[in-house]
Amino acid sequence: MAGKQTLTIIKPGAVSNEYIGPILAKINSAGFHISAMKLFRLTRNQAQNFYSIHKGKIFFNSLIEFMTSGPVVVAILEKENAVQKYRKLIGATDPSKAEEGTIRKMFAESIERNAVHGSDSDENAILECDFFFSKSERYSIFE
Ligand code: ATP
Ligand code: MG
């Protein structure tokens, strides 16, 4: 399965702005299959674990506040070369640097409130999918 899955989070800002539908439409138009999905509010513990690589950075506490401020949509997306293709679709971390037509260019409010997360490597994609979904919650087109 390596290379065919990535994890996305539609972050609280995009959810509260009613962008779930438009963002999922972009994801489907780009040819991704949604194989798992849920809407819920991250606990502090979940957000801190998920972003543990950024612990100690100046924006860490603010990021955790933001990510736990309201519900998120977490989903597994499937396509050949999913991680790289999805990073291209979402655009740069800072929306002011993101290309036209990317999800962050269209729906982000700031570098912190940047609409969506996308896994940054196949290895992390596997870890992140396992963090949020059991095997019985997935409906893969590849297996
Ligand atoms: P993500 O992991 O959410 O997909 P990314 O991989 O593009 O984003 P990272 O460097 O992993 O970027 O940063 C994780 C998240 O932390 C960013 O998406 C953003 O919400 C926040 N962040 C990153 N850099 C900054 C910053 N300089 N100031 C404020 N928030 C930031
Ligand atoms: Mg990242």
pLDDT (average), residues 121-143: 96
Cα–Cα distance for residue pair 110/49, rounded to 1 Å: 23
Structure-token pair, residue 123 = 């290895």
pLDDT at 1: 60
Ligand 2 center–CA 117 separation, angstroms: 7
Handedness of CA 89, 5, 7, 22 (dihedral sign): positive
Ligand nearest to the CA of 57: 1
pLDDT in tens, 28-55: 999 999 999 999 999 999 999 999 999 9
Ligand 1 centroid to Cα of residue 111, in Å, is: 7
117 has catalytic annotation? yes
Q: What is the secondary structure of 7-51 as a DSSP string?
A: EEEE-HHHHHTT-HHHHHHHHHHTT-EEEEEEEEPPPHHHHHHHT
Return d(Cα 98, Cα 93) in angstroms, integer.
7
Domains parsed from the chain with CATH numbers: 5-137 (3.30.70.141)
Query: Nearest residue CA, atom 17 of ligand 1?
Result: 112
Q: Which ligand 1 atom lies nearest to the CA of residue 119?
A: 4
β-strands 72-78, 116-118 pairing: unpaired
Closest residue by Cα to atom 29, ligand 1, is 112
Residue nearest to atom 31 of ligand 1 (CA): 112
Please, which residues have CB less than 5 A from ligand 2, an ion? 120
pLDDT of residue 27: 98
For 62-108, what is each residue's pLDDT tens digit? Answer: 999 999 999 999 999 999 999 999 999 999 999 999 999 999 999 99
Going by pLDDT thresholds of 50, 70 and 90, the confidence category of residue 143 is confident
Q: Please, is 62 exposed, middle or buried when counting C-beta atoms within 10 Å of its C-beta (0-12, 13-18, 19+)?
A: exposed
